[in-house]
Amino acid sequence: MAARGAGGPTTWRHRLCLVSRAVRRRCPRCGEGGVWSNFTRMRPRCPSCALELDRGESDYFYGAYMLNFVAAELLAIGVFVIALLATWPSPPWTVLTYVTVAIAIIAPIVLYPTTKALWLAVDLMFRPSESG
């Protein structure tokens, strides 16, 4: 059931590999490090395989932004629900509120590099022939 497109394999194993590399903040295509010049800035191209890392498209930026926003808010809600269930029937509402707000503010900053690399991996799944 492994289909092959013009740009390469599209198997589940290949997709999982792309995602795994992105989560580790590596180039999704080749898996090499060094694609980040600092915590928030990707290099224009992968130093190893020359994959264009910055697509330069506004919709690409919006996709990465939305993935970051959704992941951060799901994290905040998840922590809130788990803490609420763990402390039920008398949850510390003030502490839960402050912790949830802090996570909602900090998580998008901390998750930014990972979600940007993940969005690039998703892009490579859908447009492998345009990846360099």
The pLDDT value recorded for residue 10 is 65
The pLDDT value recorded for residue 129 is 60
Q: Are 132 and 40 in contact (CB under 8 A)?
A: no
The pLDDT value recorded for residue 105 is 96
The pLDDT value recorded for residue 67 is 94
Q: Indicate the helix (H) or strand (E) that contains 5.
A: strand 4-5
The pLDDT value recorded for residue 2 is 41
The pLDDT value recorded for residue 22 is 94
Phi, psi at residue 84, to the nearest 5°? -65, -45
The pLDDT value recorded for residue 132 is 52
Low-confidence ranges of the chain (pLDDT < 70): 1-10, 129-132
